[in-house]
Amino acid sequence: MSDPRKNGQTVEPTVFELSHPGRSGYRLPALDVPPADLAEVLGASNLRSTPPELPELSEPEVVRHFTRLAEMNFHVDRAMYPLGSCTMKYNPRINEEMAGLPGFTGVHPETTAAECQGAISLIYNLGRMLAEISGMDHVSIQPPAGASGELAGMLMVRAYQADQGNPRSKVIVPDTAHGTNPASLTLAGYEAVEIPSGPDGRIDVQVLAAAVDEETAAFMITNPNTLGVFESRIADIAEIVHGVGGLLYLDGANLNASLGVVRPGDAGFDVMHFNLHKTFATPHGGGGPGSGPVGVKSLLADYLPCPVARRDERKALGFEYDFDYDRPKSIGKVHAVYGNFLVAVKAYAYILTLGPQGLRRVAENAVLNANYLQKKLEPFFELPFPGLCQHEFVLSASRQKEQGVRALDVAKRLLDYGLHSPTVYFPLVVKEALMIEPTETESRASLDRFVDVMKAIAEESASSPELVTGAPTGTPVSRLDESLAAKELDVAWGKT
Amino acid sequence: MPYVPNTDRDREEMLREIGVGSVEELFAAVPKGLRESVELDVPGPLSEAELVRHMKRLASMNRTTDDVVSFLGGGVYDHTVPAVVRYVMGMPQFYTAYTPYQAEASQGTLQSIYEFQSLICRLTGLGVANASMYDGASAAAEACLMALAITRRNKILVAGTAGPSLRAVVATYLEASDIEIVELPETCGVTDVSAVDAHLEGAAVLLVQHPNFFGLLEPVDELSVKCADAGVLLVASVDPLSLAVLKPPSDYGAAIAVGEGQSLGSPVGYGGPLLGFMAADKKYLRRMPGRIIGATTDTMGRRGFVMTLQTREQHIRRAKATSNICTNEGLVALGAAVHLSLLGKNGFRELALQVTSKAHYAALALSAVAGVDLRFEGPFFREFVIDLSVPARRVKEELGRVGIWPGISCGCYYDGMENSLLVSVTERHTREDIDSLASGLEAVISPGGSS
């Protein structure tokens, strides 16, 4: 038992190490019916011989443990969190409060439509608002995350193409695509065909034109793309794709740059997903829950995930809103119920708070902040794709690499200065990539602070690179050994 | 605009620094025709006070489990959520953080999810668990994909007694493949073991929900033997609360256990967010979808946690990833870890005992009513099906008027069950609640049967 992970120094013990036999942190009501004889009612052979070894702690111990863990987390309430393509904007408190209203948290999904008009109207109207913002005709909030929205979208593409006579076999993605894109289209039964970006970081329309054919079911892109540039030739792109009978899919991860400025539906997109946890300010929760509504033009409406929220203003059934389950061409269900409803509540509240002008102001300031940062950082880091950007941009630590400092080291050093790092090593087309998205909720002072720190790190990389490669030192733990974690796996306490 | 700090003056100065004359110029790459037409027709802006008024009005248009005596379940259960669970999930250090890409600054998220994985392993008896999936249904679908990849076969067997939404999601995930889905028939409310043999050959997986949609315990031991003999992987979709008393999936040879974790500290929330979990035999770890947190050490030899085996995942492997999942249900998994830690070994078992006791008390009380019969005889855990002498829909309507929701109409999901109700009980139901359902049923159904 010499594994330092079990017996060495710890910053915070696991909840299992804190356990003390006989303690409990919660009291149930007294049982007011006769206690069941478990062996009799469940069958002795169905029972477990010993109860699961859950920890035993009192309430204050549980609260302290998780509070100490919480204190070890960087989070967006503390400082700038410039992860590119992640849109780490401020999460408005009022939205959390609204999603916590008992009239939302206490609704059971089997409640009859007449008894939960508020919930269904919210789902319906959020769908309408997202459709208006994006220029799509219909939106389903059922997909619980972006990748689930991608799967739903791609399955709709497949169903549509099949109805045209051939589901087709290929979906094209640019080399700057998020990893979920090829993974999702593969799950939808397609082969991913990757095309290289042009020298300006945009889609090379000649390359695209040569890549499409009668087997192209769709072209799946992010716009602005992951380099932070808008696909200016989107009309040509749409024409090429539509010309062979393909559909144009938008990964809406970067929709923040477009709010109130340009609508994907006007630009030729047929199907897209939204990330409510990016664009619409719902929190990321340390990895989820998110929400990935999928939007379509009318030609795909029949295929939307089932059920579809609908409105009958004449109230023929005695109420206005219900769900339509009679959708014979639907791709089916991608979530057990209606999707991440309580996340949808937050996005709905966000849109109402902003209104049309506020939404546009979000995009404008997201783009302004990104361009300001790009301009200020350009002297210190290589900018592989110069020119104005949209909501994010990509730097390269290639100069620093010559000094022995990698993008990863820059990321870790930022933590020492109390800031979060950008996304690193993505997109794959840029070596030593640092992908930076400040969002509109950062102040100029906050951007300036980031610039000062990045400048300091660039200087350190030249003068004393060991400071950077040895980072972080100011975090609860120092640089962690990822290869040990993968080589000698320990993924559950007490099991090896 | 309360969430945007830049003032007009800031904007002007920043534009000057950038070297452009206007914000409009920043969007020069967007074709002009696309830019000029946009004038969004969405409501707002609302002040906080106006927003609250509107949202409260919407919320008041929903009847909740606090307003009525509800016996709705079927996969989403109305348990008491301890204040501590809400409190921890409401800590901004947890909920405003991103996926823990920078491990050194994300130890809170990483360690709590490692603890979640460990807790799921202890419930299921299996060696490894991942950091969460969207819901129990997608977890079941992912388990089938995983089993298909492991066995390289192209058929799956799904118990017809598994929840209808679970089966629907599994079908969606496999829609684009050539995989054959065989739905196994039931007898007496559980999978008909004698009908399994005919389908085993060439099957990758047998997916069974235990307890099943009707609340009944499945013949998992017999299914397990049949699977083992045919090289079919057994995937059990389990109710985590049941594992406080029922034997763990590892005991009956399940290769993968999945389930819906909503009952571990989440409100019913109109069905979302939910919490999918997945555990597996350790030998399948590298085939698992989603994030996995592992322990390691830092440069000083201190223990720390990182996302591990990331080469399975979409951001590295892209088209060849084990799954397309990226965002999961991290915060809900944290809530589940807090919930299990708080109730602990004894509290969790006591909760399961209470739920079982109340469900069985309810079954006795309801079946004593003339015109009400238990539909199935087999053992059940937290819910059960009753057959009524009149259509379930009518009973629901009439009881609804007196504030009692007696359960889910099985006829919505299964042919020939128009007179059946799935009645679900949690620790929140008092004896009085259950007795009021019994007397309510009596009043609606008898005398004479059809009024």
Interval B314-336: pLDDT, tens: 888 888 888 999 999 999 999 99
On average, the pLDDT of chain A sits at: 96
Inform me whether the pLDDT recorded for B450 exceeds 50. Answer: no
Note whether B94 contacts A285, CB cutoff 8 Å.
Answer: yes
pLDDT in tens, A354-378: 999 999 999 999 999 999 999 999 9
Note whether B115 contacts A15, CB cutoff 8 Å.
Answer: yes
Which whole number is the average pLDDT over B355-382?
97
One domain, residues B315 and B407:
no
Check: CB of residue A205 under 8 Å from CB of residue A237: yes
Q: From B324, B339, B354, give the residue that closes a domain.
A: B339
Amino acid identity at A395? L
pLDDT in tens, A17-46: 999 999 999 999 999 999 999 999 999 999
If you search the block for the tokens 């599994």, which residue do you land on?
A: B170
Q: Is B357 domain-assigned?
A: yes
Note whether B27 contacts A24, CB cutoff 8 Å.
Answer: no
Count of domains observed in chain B: 2
Chain B touched by A252 (CB under 8 Å)? no
The separation between CA A231 and the C-alpha centre of its own chain, rounded to angstroms, equals 22
Chain B touched by A50 (CB under 8 Å)? no
**Chain B nearest C-alpha distance from A399 (Å):** 23
The separation between CA A76 and the C-alpha centre of its own chain, rounded to angstroms, equals 15
Note whether B104 contacts A75, CB cutoff 8 Å.
Answer: no
Q: Is B257 domain-assigned?
A: yes
Of B105, B135, B342, the CB nearest to A335: B135
One domain, residues B335 and B352:
no
Instruction: Show which of residues 262-301 on chain A sit within 8 Å of chain B, judged by CB atoms.
Output: 262-263, 266-267, 275, 277, 281, 283-290, 292
What is the per-residue pLDDT for A98? 98
Give percent of chain A with pLDDT exceeding 70. 99
Which whole number is the average pLDDT over B355-365?
98
Note whether B107 contacts A35, CB cutoff 8 Å.
Answer: no
Chain B touched by A319 (CB under 8 Å)? no
Task: Assign B291 a pLDDT band (cuts: 50, 70, 90).
Answer: very high
Task: Assign B448 a pLDDT band (cuts: 50, 70, 90).
Answer: low
Note whether A14 contacts B118, CB cutoff 8 Å.
Answer: yes
Inform me whether the pLDDT recorded for B449 exceeds 80. Answer: no
Of B4, B20, B60, the CB nearest to A103: B60
A358-482 under CATH 3.40.50.300, yes or no: no
Q: Is B33 domain-assigned?
A: no
Substitution target in A33, A86, A136 with the highest count of B β-carbons within 10 Å is A33
Note whether B270 contacts A341, CB cutoff 8 Å.
Answer: yes
Inform me whether the pLDDT recorded for A496 exceeds 50. Answer: no
Chain B touched by A133 (CB under 8 Å)? yes
May I ask the CATH architecture of the domain A94-351?
3-Layer(aba) Sandwich (3.40)
One domain, residues B274 and B371:
no
Q: Is B380 domain-assigned?
A: yes
Least confident of A123-137, A384-398, B151-165, B316-330: B316-330
Residues facing residue B296 across a β-bridge: B304
Q: Is B225 domain-assigned?
A: yes
Q: Which domain holds residue B275?
A: 83-339
The closest of B337, B381, B324 to B209, measured between CA atoms, is B381
Chain B touched by A122 (CB under 8 Å)? yes
One domain, residues B129 and B267:
yes
What is the per-residue pLDDT for A9? 81
Note whether B344 contacts A55, CB cutoff 8 Å.
Answer: yes
Chain B touched by A180 (CB under 8 Å)? yes
CATH code for position B417:
3.90.1150.10
Report the residue count for chain A.
496
One domain, residues B272 and B400:
no
pLDDT in tens, B78-124: 999 999 999 999 999 999 999 999 999 999 999 999 999 999 999 99
Of A101, A267, A338, the CB nearest to B56: A101
Chain B touched by A64 (CB under 8 Å)? no
**Chain A nearest C-alpha distance from B414 (Å):** 15
Note whether B39 contacts A56, CB cutoff 8 Å.
Answer: no
Distance CA B420, CA B423 (A): 9
* Residue of chain B minimizing CA distance to A44: B246
Of A56, A147, A492, the CB nearest to B117: A492
One domain, residues B189 and B220:
yes
Which whole number is the average pLDDT over A380-403?
97
Amino acid identity at A59? E
One domain, residues B399 and B327:
no
Quote the tokens at residue B147: 């089993």
Note whether B64 contacts A106, CB cutoff 8 Å.
Answer: yes
Chain B touched by A490 (CB under 8 Å)? yes
Task: Assign A7 a pLDDT band (cuts: 50, 70, 90).
Answer: confident
Which whole number is the average pLDDT over A467-491?
96
Chain B touched by A132 (CB under 8 Å)? yes
**Chain A nearest C-alpha distance from B226 (Å):** 18
One domain, residues B148 and B289:
yes
One domain, residues B355 and B322:
no
**Chain B nearest C-alpha distance from A285 (Å):** 4
Note whether B303 contacts A342, CB cutoff 8 Å.
Answer: no
Note whether A484 contacts B296, CB cutoff 8 Å.
Answer: yes
- Residue boundaries of the structural domains of chain A: 4-59, 94-351, 358-482
One domain, residues B247 and B284:
yes
Chain B touched by A112 (CB under 8 Å)? yes
* Residue of chain B minimizing CA distance to A427: B315
Which whole number is the average pLDDT over A297-317?
97
Note whether B323 contacts A108, CB cutoff 8 Å.
Answer: no
* Residue of chain B minimizing CA distance to A236: B31
Q: Is B38 domain-assigned?
A: no
CATH code for position B118:
3.40.640.10
pLDDT in tens, A257-287: 999 999 999 999 999 999 999 999 999 999 9
Inform me whether the pLDDT recorded for B352 exceeds 60. Answer: yes
**Chain B nearest C-alpha distance from A244 (Å):** 22
One domain, residues B252 and B272:
yes
Note whether A332 contacts B168, CB cutoff 8 Å.
Answer: yes
Q: From B280, B304, B339, give the residue that closes a domain.
A: B339
Q: Is B92 domain-assigned?
A: yes
* A35 Cβ neighbours under 8 A, 6+ residues apart: B353, B357
Q: Is B56 domain-assigned?
A: no
Of B42, B63, B298, the CB nearest to A477: B298
One domain, residues B373 and B311:
no
What is the per-residue pLDDT for B447? 60
Note whether B324 contacts A367, CB cutoff 8 Å.
Answer: no
Tally A–B CB contacts below 8 A: 721
**Chain B nearest C-alpha distance from A491 (Å):** 4
What is the per-residue pLDDT for A2? 66
Note whether A477 contacts B334, CB cutoff 8 Å.
Answer: no
Q: From B339, B371, B404, give the residue that closes a domain.
A: B339
Report the residue count for chain B.
451
* Residue of chain A minimizing CA distance to B272: A340
Q: Computed from CA positions of residues A320, A326, A327, A333, in that sequence, does the dihedral angle turn out positive or negative? A: positive
Note whether A336 contacts B243, CB cutoff 8 Å.
Answer: no
Substitution target in B16, B22, B34, B431 with the highest count of A β-carbons within 10 Å is B34
